[in-house]
Amino acid sequence: MAYRPRIRDVATLAGTSVSTVSNLLNGRPDRMRPETVQRIEEAIERLGYRPSWAARQLKTGFAPVIGLLVPSVSNPFHGAMARAVEVAAQARGFQVVLGNSLRDPARERQYAEDFFDFGIRGVIAGSSPFDLGHFSELMGRGLSMVAFDLVTTGEGGEPAMDSVSMDNRRAGYLATRHLIDLGHRRIGYVSGATPTMSRRDRLEGYGQALAEAGIPLEPELIAAGDAALGYDDTHAAEHGRAAAHNLLGLAAPPTGLIALNDMHAVGACAAVRDRGGAIPEDVSVVGIDDIPLAGLLYPALTTVHQPIEKLSEAAVDLLCKRIGGTDSGPVRHIVFDPHLVVRATTAAPEGRGRQRSLGRATTERSAG
């Protein structure tokens, strides 16, 4: 096997330290004299020491890699997002490195720090929190970022950054309006426990649709599930199941359920079946996201489509322009419209009497 040069060989030939070579490879040539940079580049060329991204990094100061932070690929939506980002990035000559952040600011910050140390100068943050201040210091050092599902203006002290998003308020509105138009008047909302901007906006859309129809918003019809089940994105279906059980166990349970996302909707459908009910005869269910499996479920899930390919393409485009220096203007916020996809989990509330009795029977069993 042929000997493969190591970074120490480069340092020895260039007459410098390993850390100095590392600084150059990780996009920090400003920390050394021009003649030192030249010696290291000549040593790399002579030895043939070239990581897959090194040649380009030596010219541009960064690795042709994008960092992508998602809450958890346990949710198929985030897996689809990662794939769409990868396709868009590869079309522009970039690769993608993925991190599951679990919506933990400290974990996100550590991922971003590690990305930066490896020469990555652009990150897409897909966690949709209310505050991205934990990225401020890295952005001050030159990290470009695009927020997914979050608009940050910098007016509240948080770092201003480019963003792409679906109109989440509109998504919640469309889902709720669909059930109202079918004749439902008692509509539950199966929510997540994690406070995010997308969750807030979808819930506001739910409230807006109810208000327009003259239906009072009842707090007892908004359920977040049992936090003891674990983290939302990793256990989304079980959160949805627990939340739907809470709603269906009410003395006057809802005839229709809006879910925060499709995985919560899958859990809500399971809760209806747990109680011996049928979908949509006894309870109608609407999700949000339109994950790839939504149309393959039985019954096929009515949901609000999120244009993940367009969102990912826009996010990668914004980020690559910032990294490449072709866009140095004010931050940009791109918002896409969702649309309703009607399938088989929704219908007029014809089975309301039977559904109410199911709710009472399950409550009695739980009490025993």
Q: What is the pLDDT of residues 296-351, one digit of tens each?
A: 999 999 999 999 999 999 999 999 999 888 888 999 999 999 999 999 999 999 75
**Nearest-5° Cα angle at 123, 305 to 192:** 45
More confident residue, 92 or 278: 278
Q: Smallest Cα–Cα separation from 187: which of 142, 148, 221?
A: 221
SS3 96: strand
What are the backbone angles phi and psi of residue 217, rounded to the nearest 5°? Answer: -85, 120
Domains 65-166+308-337 and 168-306+341-367 fall in the same CATH topology: yes
What pLDDT was estimated at residue 31?
A: 64
More confident residue, 63 or 215: 215
Whether residue 219 has pLDDT greater than 90: yes
What pLDDT was estimated at residue 48?
A: 85
Report which listed range, 60-69, 120-129, 219-228, 294-303, is most confident: 294-303
Instruction: Give the tens place of pLDDT for each residue, 75-89.
Output: 899 999 999 999 999
| pLDDT band, very low/low/confident/very high, at 353 (cuts 50, 70, 90) | very low
Q: Minimum mean pLDDT among 163-172, 181-190, 347-356: which range?
A: 347-356
**Are the C-beta atoms of residues 27 and 63 closer than 8 Å to each other?**
yes
- Please tell me whether the overall predicted TM-score, pTM, comes out greater than 0.85 for this model: no
What pLDDT was estimated at residue 1?
A: 52
Provide mean pLDDT across the span 236-251. Answer: 94
SS3 190: strand
What pLDDT was estimated at residue 88?
A: 94
What pLDDT was estimated at residue 287?
A: 98
Contacts of 259 (CB under 8 A, 6+ apart): 190, 240, 265, 267, 268, 285, 286, 287, 288
Provide mean pLDDT across the span 114-129. Answer: 87
What pLDDT was estimated at residue 333?
A: 93
Instruction: Give the tens place of pLDDT for each residue, 180-201.
Output: 999 999 999 998 777 788 899 9
Provide mean pLDDT across the span 104-125. Answer: 92
How far is 131 from 142, CA to CA, in rounded Å? 19
What pLDDT was estimated at residue 152?
A: 59
Q: Smallest Cα–Cα separation from 44: which of 21, 26, 61?
A: 21
**Domain boundaries defined on the chain:** 65-166+308-337, 168-306+341-367
Fold of 65-166+308-337: Rossmann fold (3.40.50)
Q: What is the CA radius of gyration of the chain?
A: 25
Whether residue 55 has pLDDT greater than 60: no
Half-sphere exposure of 168 (CA within 13 A, CB side): 20
Q: Smallest Cα–Cα separation from 145: which of 322, 283, 363?
A: 322
The CATH code belonging to domain 168-306+341-367 is 3.40.50.2300
SS3 23: helix
What pLDDT was estimated at residue 52?
A: 47
